[in-house]
């Protein structure tokens, strides 16, 4: 049927089955494991595990009754401990999802809720764990009819979501207002900004001369009133001059580097930005929740033209700022629209340096927009 990512407490999900992140021995861990045992009935569930199940190796799954939960079944996926990413963790985590879904089918479940298996106390990187979950669930749904929930719930995520939502609503509303403003109002805003800039600049007293150290008369500061007149502006001008010189150098250096990449395609400029930010390609596409094959096409074909959503996700994965995002998108023929809610949501997250694809996807879902993770 479908995969839906939601923010909720998995112990409160009214589904046929929920999935737990379990240990290989009959012990209760922290996080999701502990929460499910407490909600289901700690002693009763633990006794069942000890007497009926026993030891289960990593990557396997077993099923128990839901006891006091709304869910009829608890499917326990024995989660791999993350070591370095090269010790078989990927295969074991994929096996957790496959075996859990197999047990759900055997029990005739129509709905099931997963946590992000192994991304808590087992140490699996969140973005990589999400990518594996989406891969395996989508592969399963191609041949099975089931509603699968991926439940995201932790203190950090909940706190972030409650903070984001009102700010994002204001941001969306403001963007729609700005997009609807007439040219007349835009001109008024520009005029007001210019007026404000003029008022903020300190005016020098008319007729007063500012001396440099070479041209200043010996008695220029001999009187207290002249010291008051001359000194502030001489010092201020010197500071401004030095700052301007440094800014000019930095701008010229940055501009010169950018000019070398003026004609870069989307692919070339993305790889350049990744290198500039001292990132690894794998980290970028994993954070972006972009398939490795898709990224390889972009990397190996300078003229590859990605879909707009893929391009936006890669901007998040590469942690670009808003100006860099606009520049990169333009190279694929795209622009951020103030009349498109998906664009506005991405703009909000990028502008506020919130590079969290799961949270972006949740916000798209909550605003009735097509999700990235399907």
Q: What angle do CA 365, 121, 6 make, to 5 degrees?
A: 10
Scanning the structure block, which residue is given the tokens 């150098």?
Answer: 249
Alpha-carbon separation of residue 371 from 116, 122, 152, 183, 342 (angstroms): 18, 28, 15, 34, 9
Asked if residue 273 is part of any domain, the answer here is: no
* Predicted TM-score (pTM) above 0.85: no
CB–CB of 371/365 below 8 Å? yes
Domain boundary among 126, 153, 180: 153
pLDDT of residue 179: 60
What is the number of domains present in the chain? 2
* Secondary structure class of 73 (helix, strand, coil): strand
Q: Which of 307, 305, 326 is nearest to 315 (CA)?
A: 326
Scanning the structure block, which residue is given the tokens 């007729």?
Answer: 207
Asked if residue 101 is part of any domain, the answer here is: yes
Name the burial class of residue 299, with classes exposed (0-12), middle (13-18) and buried (19+) by CB atoms within 10 angstroms of its CB: middle
Collect all residues with Cβ–Cβ distance below 8 Å to 265 and sequence separation of at least 6.
302, 303, 331
Asked if residue 219 is part of any domain, the answer here is: yes
Same domain assignment for residues 148 and 17 = yes
The CATH number covering residue 18 comes to 3.40.220.10
- Residues taking part in catalysis: 33
Same domain assignment for residues 73 and 149 = yes
Asked if residue 330 is part of any domain, the answer here is: no
Domain interval for residue 84: 2-153
Same domain assignment for residues 140 and 214 = no
Asked if residue 35 is part of any domain, the answer here is: yes
CB–CB of 73/107 below 8 Å? yes
Strand partners of residue 19? 75
> CA-CA distance, 241 to 305, in Å (whole number)?
45
> CA-CA distance, 118 to 289, in Å (whole number)?
17
Same domain assignment for residues 80 and 16 = yes
Instruction: Give the orientation angle of helix 155-180 with respect to helix 357-366, to 10 degrees.
Output: 60
CB–CB of 337/343 below 8 Å? yes
What does each of the 374 residues of the chain score in pLDDT, given as a tens digit? 688 888 889 999 999 999 999 999 999 998 899 999 999 999 999 999 999 999 999 999 999 999 999 999 999 999 999 999 889 999 999 999 999 999 999 999 999 999 999 998 899 988 888 889 988 998 999 999 999 999 986 555 445 555 666 788 888 877 765 665 544 455 555 566 666 655 555 554 444 444 444 444 444 444 444 444 444 445 455 555 555 554 555 555 555 666 677 789 999 999 999 999 999 999 999 899 898 899 999 999 999 999 999 999 999 999 999 999 999 999 999 999 988 999 999 999 999 999 988 889 888 988 888 888 76
DSSP state of 12: G
Same domain assignment for residues 100 and 217 = no
């Amino acid at each position: 049927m479908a995969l839906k990512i939601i923010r909720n407490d998995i112990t409160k999900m009214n589904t046929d089955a929920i999935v737990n992140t379990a240990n290989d021995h009959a012990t209760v861990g922290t996080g999701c494991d502990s929460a499910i045992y407490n909600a289901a009935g700690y002693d009763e569930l633990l006794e069942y595990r000890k007497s009926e199940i026993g030891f289960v190796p990593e990557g396997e799954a077993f099923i128990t009754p839901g006891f006091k939960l709304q869910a009829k079944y608890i499917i326990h996926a024995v989660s791999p401990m993350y070591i370095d990413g090269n010790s078989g963790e990927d295969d074991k985590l994929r096996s957790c999802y496959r075996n859990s879904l197999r047990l759900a089918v055997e029990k005739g479940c129509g709905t099931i809720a997963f946590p992000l298996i192994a991304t808590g106390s087992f140490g699996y990187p969140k973005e990589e764990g999400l990518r594996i979950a989406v891969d395996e669930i989508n592969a399963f749904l191609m041949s099975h009819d089931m509603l699968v929930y991926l439940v995201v719930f932790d203190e950090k995520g909940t706190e972030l979501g409650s903070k984001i939502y009102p700010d994002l609503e204001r941001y969306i509303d403001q963007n729609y207002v700005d997009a609807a403003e007439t040219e007349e109002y835009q001109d008024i805003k520009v005029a007001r900004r210019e007026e404000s800039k003029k008022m903020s600049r300190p005016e020098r007293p008319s007729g007063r001369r500012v001396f440099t150290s070479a041209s200043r008369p010996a008695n220029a500061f001999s009187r207290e009133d002249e010291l008051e007149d001359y000194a502030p502006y001489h010092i201020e001008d010197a500071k401004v001059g030095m700052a301007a010189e440094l800014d000019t150098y930095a701008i010229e250096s940055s501009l010169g580097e950018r000019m070398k990449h003026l004609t870069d395609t989307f692919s070339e400029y993305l790889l350049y930005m990744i290198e500039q930010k001292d990132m690894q390609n794998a980290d970028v596409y994993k954070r972006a929740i972009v398939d490795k094959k898709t990224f390889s096409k972009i990397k190996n074909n300078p003229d590859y033209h990605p879909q707009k959503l893929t391009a936006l996700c890669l901007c998040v994965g590469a942690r670009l700022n808003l100006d860099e995002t606009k520049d990169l998108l333009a190279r694929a023929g795209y622009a951020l629209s103030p009349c498109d809610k998906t664009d506005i949501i991405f703009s909000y997250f990028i502008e506020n340096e919130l590079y969290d694809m799961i949270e972006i996807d949740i916000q798209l879902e909550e605003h009735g927009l097509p999700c990235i993770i399907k």
